[in-house]
Homo-oligomer: A and B are copies of this chain.
Amino acid sequence: MSLPAEFELIRRYFAPLSGPGSLSLADDAAILQPRPGWSMVATVDTVISGVHFLPEDPPDLVARKALRVNLSDLAAMGAEPVGYLLVTALPSATDEAWVARFAQGLAQDQAEFAIGLLGGDSAATPGPLTITITALGQIEAGRALLRSGASPGDRVYVSGTLGDGAFGLKIARGGGSGIEAAARAHLLERYRLPRPRLRLGRRLVGLATAALDVSDGLVGDLRHICEASKVGAAVESVRVPLSPAARALIEAGEASLAEALTGGDDYELLFTAPTEAEPALARIAAELDLPLTRVGEIRADPGLDVLDESGRPLALGSGGYRHFG
């Protein structure tokens, strides 16, 4: 085994990451004290080498993405992150340098998001390297952004740009020869290092009627909101915000608008808000320097229509429907 024992691995790489409430990772469990009148929010995600990332991916980026997809779930609830629990299942052939760079990535994002490591577990596995992160946050009691609050007449918004995540995966797989290197780099970074919209989520509390983070693609995720809220929606695909790099990849014939609407891994916030919220949203977009784009409308009729520039249904393929087979 090329790794030191679990105890030593924790001492060297993970104990230095421990935050308030972690009891220095030396007790049986972490203790978290939400502010008076606040609730705790908890979410968990697992990533497996060869399934969710490639064995040759930079370990610090693997760590940061594993953390960020969880923080994105907290953002979607309007919660403020507190910390996280980390489980590493490592093959015996794992290089110690891999663990060191992995821990560096965690340290970098802990500083960026003001969170600490609260606890965890570590095991040797005969299978692929597997990382599981449980993120914990807090939100004013009764104020969490849910998927179930959208009403007919609400507008549908997305933050940032869509499609970059799915297009970045194409780049990671060797695509993108028809676009410039800088555009390839932009898409690859968007795929490898999602930006959890935590500040936006906090600002949407009390303003948005429903929200989630786009992990299955706009179409699939808006359907989740419609089902939870028992409403329908219409999306004007021409309004969907695309990055210049994503547009370039579409123009180069290596991707389609439909893929931008149904591909996952964007980790932008998709939310609904009443018409009166428009001026407040414009102010938030300016303050956060983050586009908030109206892409559609909630209707009483169930079902989701995605319309092209002529108002006709857009052909989407099967991408956005994969959870509904």
Nearest chain B CB to A71 CB, angstrom units: 11
A27 touches B130 (CB 8 A): no
Copy count, this protein chain: 2
Query: Which residues of chain B have C-beta atoms less than 8 A from A139's C-beta?
Result: 31
With A127-B128, A146-B23 known to touch, is A77 a contact of B28 (CB < 8 Å)?
A: yes
**A3 lies within 8 A of chain B by Cβ:** no
With A23-B146, A87-B132, A146-B27 known to touch, is A40 a contact of B46 (CB < 8 Å)?
A: no
In the complex, identify which listed stretch (A103-111, A115-123, A166-174, A279-287) lies at the interface while the others stay far away: A115-123
From B119, B125, B323, A5 is in contact (CB under 8 Å) with B323
With A40-B40, A87-B132, A132-B87 known to touch, is A28 a contact of B213 (CB < 8 Å)?
A: yes
A46 touches B228 (CB 8 A): no
How distant is the Cα of A146 from the Cα of B89 in the complex, in angstroms? 27
**A199 lies within 8 A of chain B by Cβ:** no
From B5, B48, B73, A89 is in contact (CB under 8 Å) with B48
**A41 lies within 8 A of chain B by Cβ:** yes
From B30, B40, B126, B137, A34 is in contact (CB under 8 Å) with B40
How distant is the Cα of A171 from the Cα of B130 in the complex, in angstroms? 31
Nearest chain B CB to A88 CB, angstrom units: 9
How distant is the Cα of A33 from the Cα of B142 in the complex, in angstroms? 10
